[in-house]
C-alpha cells in the first residue's frame, strides 16, 4: 500500500473528491504525461510541416427567379413577364445536388488534372498498381465530392461552396471549373435541349433557299432580258394606245386624201391647161427703118453714079429701079401692123395639179404609215402578252423569294434570341447567378500560431487522457479511500513514501 504525504486519515470522513485528488494522478504519471505531450506535439507539428499550409476558396451561388425561360416557338411571339413565386427550399436543394453531381465533378477533375498520377511515391498507386484513367477519374471524383462542401446560408437563397487544398491556384481552379460546369449543367437541365442548334440549322436552310430564289430571280432577268416586266408592260400599253390613236389618224388622213384626189381630178377636167396672159399691136418700125436705110444707100449710090455716067447708063438705071422698089416697099410697110400675144399655164390648173400630186404623195405616205402602225400595234400586243407571262413568272419567283426571306428573317431572329439567351446564361443562368465568384486565396486557412495552438491542445488532451488511463488501469492502491472501499479495512495513518 502506498502512503500519502503523512496525513492522518479519519474513518468516516467525507469521500467527495477534491481538486487535489483529481490532479494527483497527473502528478503520479507526470513522466508519461510529459513524454506523451512532447511526442504528440512534435508529431502534429511534423505532420503540419509535411502537409504544408492549407488554403480554402469560397464561392456563393444565388438561386432566384429574375429570368424566365423563353418560349421556344417558330412564331414571332413576345415574352410576357408575370409575377413569379418565391424560390422553394426544394429548388435550392436541387441546385445543391446539381453542384455535386457525378458528371459535373468529373468535368472539374479532368479540367484541373486531378486524375493525373502523382509524381514520386503514392499510396494510391501502391494499392492500385494497374488502374486505368477511368479508375483514376472515378477515385478523384469521389475524393473531390468529399472535399467540396456545400451549405445554405440561413434564411437566404445563397448556396455556399467551399474547397480546401494545399495549392491556392488549385483551390481557385477547382471552384472556377465547378462554377462553369454547374452553369452548363443547369442550362442542360432547365432549358430546352438543342433549341439554338435547331434554329441555327433552320436558319441555314432558309438562307440557302433565299439564295437559291434570288439566283433564280437574277437568272430570270438575265435570260429574258427584262428587269421589270410590269413597268415595261405598262409602258408598252401606253405606246399601244398611242399607236392605235395614230392608226386612226392615218385612216382618217387616207380617207381625206382620197376624197381630195377625186375633187382635184374633177377640177382639172374643167380647167384649161393654158390661158393668154398679154396681147400687143405695133407698126413695122424696124422694117421701115431698114427700108429707109436701104433707100438712102440706093440714092447715095445713084448720086455717085450720076456724077460719072449718063442717066441712061445701065448702072444708073439699075440704081433708079432699086430706089423705086425701095419706095414701093416703104409704102407697103407703112400700111402694115404687127400683133404680139403671150400665153402661159393656167394658175388654177397648176394649183390643182400640184395639190393633186401632193395629195397623192401624202396618201402613199399615210398608207405606209398605216401599215407600219398596224405592224407596230401587233408587235406591241405580242410583247405585252410575253411580258404578262414573264410578269406572272417573276411574281412567282418574287413570292418565293419573299417567303424565303420572311422565313430566314424569322429563324434568324429566333436564332439570335436563343444565342442571346445562351450568352446571358453564361453569367446569369435562368434562375441561378454566381453571386460571389471564387478568388485565389492569399492567406492559409491555418497559420503557424493556430497550428501550434492546435498541436498544444491535441498533445495536452492526449497526454492527460493517457495519464488518467494509465492510472485507471493500475491495480495498486493510491488513496486510503480505495483501501477502505475495497478491503474494508480501517486505515489508522498514512506515511509518505521516501524516495532515495
Q: Residues 132-174: pLDDT tens digits?
A: 778 888 888 888 888 888 888 777 888 888 888 878 888 888 8
pLDDT digits (tens, 9 = 90+) for 183-227: 878 777 766 666 767 778 888 888 888 888 888 878 877 777 776
At 6, is the pLDDT very low, low, confident or very high (cuts 50, 70, 90)? very low
d(CA 218, CA 393): 13
The angle subtended at Cα 156 by Cα 151 and Cα 159, nearest 5°, is 30
| The three three-digit cell numbers of residue 250, written as one number | 392615218
List, for residues 249-287, the tens digit of each pLDDT value: 988 989 998 888 888 888 888 878 776 666 665 656 777
Instruction: Encode burial over 195-228: b for 16+ CB neighbours within 10 A, e otherwise.
Output: bbebbbebbeebbebbeebeeebeebeeeeebee
Please provide the DSSP assignment of 96-126 as one string. HHHHT-HHHHHHHHHHHTTTSPPSS--HHHH
What is the C-alpha to C-alpha distance for residues 72 and 411, in angstroms, rounded to an integer?
A: 12
Rounded CA-CA distance 388/233 in Å is 7
**pLDDT (0 to 100) of residue 429:** 47
The CA distance from 474 to 467, in Å, is 11
- Residue 208 neighbours by CB under 8 Å, 6+ apart: none
Q: Label the pairing between strands 158-165 and 55-63.
A: antiparallel
Q: What is the pLDDT of residue 431?
A: 65
Tell me which of 392 and 81 has the higher pLDDT: 392
In whole angstroms, give the CA distance from residue 264 to residue 262: 5
What three-state secondary structure class fits 63?
Answer: strand
Burial call 276-287: b when 16+ CB within 10 Å, e when fewer: eeeeeeeebeeb
Higher pLDDT, 138 or 131: 138
How many other CB atoms are there within 10 angstroms of residue 168's CB atom?
19
- Exposed, middle or buried by CB within 10 Å (0-12, 13-18, 19+), for 274? exposed
3-state secondary structure of 438: coil
* Buried b or exposed e, range 421-459, using 16+ CB within 10 angstroms: beeebeeebbbbbbbeebeebeebebeeeebeeebeeeb
More confident site: 40 or 486: 40
Report the 10 Å Cβ neighbour count for 181: 21
Per-residue pLDDT tens digits for 80-90:
545 566 777 88
Name the strands in the sheet holding 432-436, side by side, starting at the edge strand that comes first in the sequence. 149-152, 158-165, 55-63, 432-436, 428-429
Tens of pLDDT, residue by residue over 296-353, are 888 888 888 788 877 787 887 888 888 888 888 878 877 776 666 676 677 888 888 8
| Cβ 9 vs Cβ 493: under 8 Å | yes
Farthest CA pair distance, the chain: 253
**Mean pLDDT, the chain, integer:** 76
Residue pair 380/239 in contact by the 8 Å Cβ criterion: yes
The pLDDT tens digits for 91-127 are 888 888 888 888 888 888 888 887 776 554 455 555 6
Q: 3-class DSSP state for residue 436? A: strand
Q: What is the pLDDT of residues 436-483, one digit of tens each?
A: 888 888 777 666 677 788 878 888 888 888 877 777 776 666 667 766
pTM, two decimal places: 0.43
Give the confidence band of 56 by pLDDT, cuts at 50, 70, 90. confident
pLDDT at residue 121, rounded to an integer: 45
Confidence of residue 7 (pLDDT cuts 50, 70, 90): very low
Grid coordinates given for 139 = 477515385
Domain ranges in the chain are 19-197+423-472, 274-345
What would the DSSP string read from start to end of 65-81?
A: -S--PPP--SS---PPP
Q: The C-alpha cell of 478 is what?
A: 493510491
- Answer for the pair 408, 209: CB distance below 8 angstroms, yes or no: yes
Asked whether 430 and 190 are in contact (CB, 8 A), the reply is yes
pLDDT at 419 over 80: no
Backbone φ and ψ for 3, nearest 5 degrees, come out as -100, 155
Q: Which residue has the cell 507526470?
A: 30
Q: How far apart are CA 39 and CA 294, in angstroms?
A: 194
Report the candidate in 158, 126, 195 with the shortest Cα–Cα distance to residue 420: 195
Q: Are 236 and 383 in contact (CB under 8 A)?
A: yes
Asked whether the beta carbons of 36 and 466 are under 8 A apart, the reply is yes
Yes or no: say if 112 and 176 are a contact pair by the CB < 8 Å rule. no
Nearest by Cα to 256 from 170, 144, 153, 367: 367
Amino acid at each position: 500500500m502506498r502512503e500519502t504525504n503523512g496525513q492522518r486519515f479519519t474513518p468516516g470522513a467525507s469521500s467527495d473528491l477534491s481538486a487535489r485528488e483529481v490532479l494527483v494522478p497527473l502528478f503520479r504519471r507526470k513522466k508519461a504525461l510529459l513524454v506523451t505531450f512532447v511526442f504528440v506535439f512534435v508529431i502534429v507539428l511534423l505532420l503540419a510541416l509535411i502537409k504544408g499550409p492549407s488554403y480554402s476558396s469560397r464561392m456563393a451561388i444565388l438561386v432566384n427567379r429574375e429570368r424566365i425561360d423563353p418560349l421556344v416557338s417558330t412564331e414571332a411571339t413576345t415574352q410576357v413577364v408575370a409575377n413569379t413565386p418565391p424560390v422553394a427550399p426544394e429548388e435550392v436543394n436541387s441546385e445543391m445536388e446539381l453542384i455535386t453531381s457525378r458528371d459535373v465533378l468529373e468535368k472539374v477533375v479532368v479540367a484541373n488534372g486531378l486524375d493525373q498520377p502523382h509524381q514520386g511515391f503514392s499510396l494510391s498507386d501502391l494499392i492500385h498498381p494497374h488502374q486505368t484513367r477511368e479508375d483514376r477519374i472515378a477515385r478523384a471524383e469521389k475524393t473531390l465530392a468529399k472535399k467540396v462542401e456545400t451549405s445554405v446560408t440561413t434564411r437566404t437563397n445563397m448556396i455556399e461552396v467551399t474547397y480546401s487544398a494545399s495549392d491556392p491556384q488549385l483551390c481557385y481552379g477547382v471552384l472556377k471549373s465547378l462554377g462553369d460546369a454547374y452553369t452548363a449543367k443547369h442550362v442542360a437541365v432547365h432549358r430546352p435541349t438543342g433549341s439554338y442548334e435547331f434554329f441555327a440549322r433552320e436558319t441555314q436552310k432558309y438562307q440557302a433557299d433565299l439564295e437559291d430564289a434570288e439566283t433564280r430571280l437574277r437568272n430570270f432577268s438575265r435570260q429574258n432580258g427584262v428587269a421589270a416586266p410590269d413597268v415595261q408592260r405598262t409602258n408598252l400599253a401606253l405606246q399601244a394606245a398611242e399607236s392605235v390613236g395614230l392608226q386612226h389618224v392615218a385612216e382618217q388622213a387616207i380617207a381625206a386624201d382620197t376624197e381630195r384626189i377625186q375633187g382635184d381630178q374633177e377640177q382639172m377636167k374643167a380647167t384649161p391647161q393654158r390661158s393668154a396672159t398679154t396681147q400687143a399691136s405695133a407698126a413695122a418700125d424696124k422694117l421701115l427703118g431698114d427700108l429707109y436705110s436701104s433707100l438712102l444707100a440706093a440714092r447715095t449710090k445713084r448720086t455717085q453714079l450720076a456724077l460719072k455716067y449718063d442717066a441712061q447708063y445701065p448702072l444708073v438705071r439699075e440704081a433708079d429701079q432699086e430706089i423705086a422698089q425701095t419706095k414701093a416697099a416703104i409704102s407697103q410697110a407703112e400700111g402694115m401692123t404687127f400683133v404680139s400675144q403671150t400665153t402661159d399655164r393656167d394658175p388654177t390648173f397648176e394649183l390643182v395639179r400640184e395639190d393633186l400630186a401632193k395629195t397623192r404623195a401624202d396618201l402613199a405616205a399615210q398608207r405606209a404609215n398605216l401599215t407600219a402602225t398596224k405592224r407596230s400595234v401587233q408587235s406591241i400586243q405580242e410583247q405585252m402578252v410575253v411580258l404578262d407571262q414573264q410578269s406572272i413568272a417573276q411574281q412567282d419567283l418574287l413570292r418565293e423569294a419573299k417567303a424565303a426571306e420572311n422565313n430566314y428573317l424569322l429563324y434568324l431572329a429566333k436564332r439570335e434570341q436563343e444565342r442571346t439567351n445562351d450568352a446571358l446564361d453564361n453569367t446569369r443562368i435562368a434562375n441561378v447567378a454566381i453571386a460571389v465568384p471564387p478568388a485565389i486565396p492569399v492567406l492559409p486557412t491555418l497559420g503557424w500560431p493556430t497550428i501550434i495552438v492546435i498541436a498544444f491542445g491535441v498533445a495536452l488532451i492526449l497526454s492527460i487522457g493517457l495519464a488518467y488511463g494509465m492510472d485507471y488501469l493500475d491495480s495498486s492502491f493510491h488513496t486510503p479511500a480505495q483501501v477502505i472501499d475495497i478491503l474494508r479495512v480501517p486505515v489508522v495513518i498514512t506515511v509518505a513514501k521516501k524516495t532515495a
